[in-house]
Every structure is written in structure tokens, then in C-alpha cells.
Amino acid sequence: MKESIHKYFRVGTIQWMSYPLSDPMDSLKAICRDEFFDAIELKGYGERNEEARALLAQSHLKVCYGAQPRLLGPKLNPNALEEEERLKAEATLKEALDEAEYLGAGGIAFLAGRWQMESRDQAYAQLLKTTRSVCDYADGKGMMVELEVFDYDMDKAALIGPAPYAARFASDMRMTHSNFGLLVDLSHFPTTYETSRFVIRTLRPYITHFHFGNAVVIPGCDGYGDLHPRMGYPNSANDTPELLDYLRVLKQEGFFNAEDPYVLSMEVTLRPGEDEQIVLANTKRVLNRAWALLED
């Protein structure tokens, strides 16, 4: 493309993935100072939220809040069959909305919990209950709630996806809540045995946010599962050609929006012994190359 990617997308990065080794304030400053980024995805800073809010206010970055760590760390499940456990997940997502609002984010993203085949329908109903309650709370603040589509049997084993099941869930949610959307990630397409074209076309009406990255899906290989290694990692699924295909499908399906650009964030992290800045530069190079190869 001759025109800049920044015309059509707010290019972002996920702070805790890009900088897993750094002090959170140091990495926040690094992203705020980096004009390559138009957006940041963060998970909150606890007692340092006031300091972070002041930095973000200076930056002109679009702020996005990822509530996934709030669920994954303590192993909370928004589709838990036990009501007490489900309510714990619902409560932390509402707390995430409060924290996101304080930091200047317009909403939160989260993921479904683990599931069992024999209780899938009950888990689906529980997830609807949680998500509708969280969307009600968010609506009172004028905020969005986005569900990220994950693998269903490889690593996270989340209830939502694959893509057709995510479409069903999003359709049910949109019947009652217009402030709900789906977040899709190129990293996850290999883990759900799907392609960019299939996922984007299946979920077209419901997508509000994009990620890209990489995954290793060959059992026994280093980095196997939902670990988001650098682009082009040995035995991995995604590199420049796959990102180019992703961008090509987004263009064909009408997601290039200069008036109100979607967030497109890199979700890439380190393998043992790797360097934060080098892996981040790797990801920028791959994105720049894929964009340069994209047809006008």
C-alpha cells in the first residue's frame, strides 16, 4: 500500500506481552514515546494507576484495557457452572471496567473460561449471563465489552471459539446489547484450525478489534500452544505471508476505515533468552513488510 497503515488502523501493542521483563512504568514510557504506536493495550497498574494515567494523558494514544490476565491469573471462569465462581469472574470484570475508565480506556476485552463437552450448553448460558451483566454495567459508563476468540481444545481451551460458535454467541449478545463486540487474533487462527478468510467472513458483523501475532501448533515443538512467539519463530504458523493474507482479507471485507480506524495490535512476546526491544522491532518489520506488499 502506498498510503500509511496509520491512516486505516490504530496500530498498537499489548504492553505486558511486549515488555514482560521491564518495570511497568518504564515500558509504558517507552510505548508513549514511540510514535510508531497509535494505541496501547494494558492491564492496569494497581497503586501506580495515577502515575500511569498522567503519562497516558500526555501521549495521545488510544487506550485499550485487557482484562484477560484478571481471569487467567486467578483462574476465574465467566462461564463456571457454580454460580459463586461465575459471580467472582463477573465481579472482577466490573472492577476492570472501573479501572479502565480511570485510565482513559473506552472498554475492556476478556475471554471465556474452560468448558466440558457434557456441560457445554449450560456453560454457554452462564457466559451469556456474565457478559450481559458486564455489558449492562459498561453501558452505564458509555463503554464497550469485547470477547476475544481463543482456541477451544489446544491450550486455553476456552468456550469461545471456534469462529462459527463465536458468531452464534455474538449474535445472541447483539440481540440485547449493542456495546458488545468480538476481538479476533491472527495468532489464534492456527490454534482453531481456521484461516483468516474463514474467520473474518464468519464473524464480519461482530468484529470490533484486531490482534496479530504467531503460534506454534506442532505438538512437541518449542513454543507449542498459545504462547505468542516472535514472527517467523522455528516451526511456527505465522510470518510475513500470513500477515499479508490477514491484511488482504481485512481490506476485502471493508475493515480499512480512515474515518474511525480499528485498533490493530501486535501480540508477541519473548521466548527464553530473547530481548524485548529486538522482538518488538522484529514485529514492526514484519508488519511494515506485509503492508508494503499489500496491493492498493
Domain ranges of the chain: 5-293
pTM assigned to the model: 0.96
Give residue 129's pLDDT.
98
Give residue 34's pLDDT.
98
- Summarize pLDDT for 42-77 with one digit per residue, the tens: 999 999 999 999 999 999 999 999 999 999 999 999
Confidence of residue 225 (pLDDT cuts 50, 70, 90): very high
Confidence of residue 236 (pLDDT cuts 50, 70, 90): very high
CA–CA separation, 56 and 16 (whole Å): 16
Out of 3.30.70.1890, 3.20.20.150, 3.40.980.10, 2.40.50.140, select the CATH number for domain 5-293: 3.20.20.150
CA–CA separation, 240 and 231 (whole Å): 8
Mean pLDDT within 183-203: 98
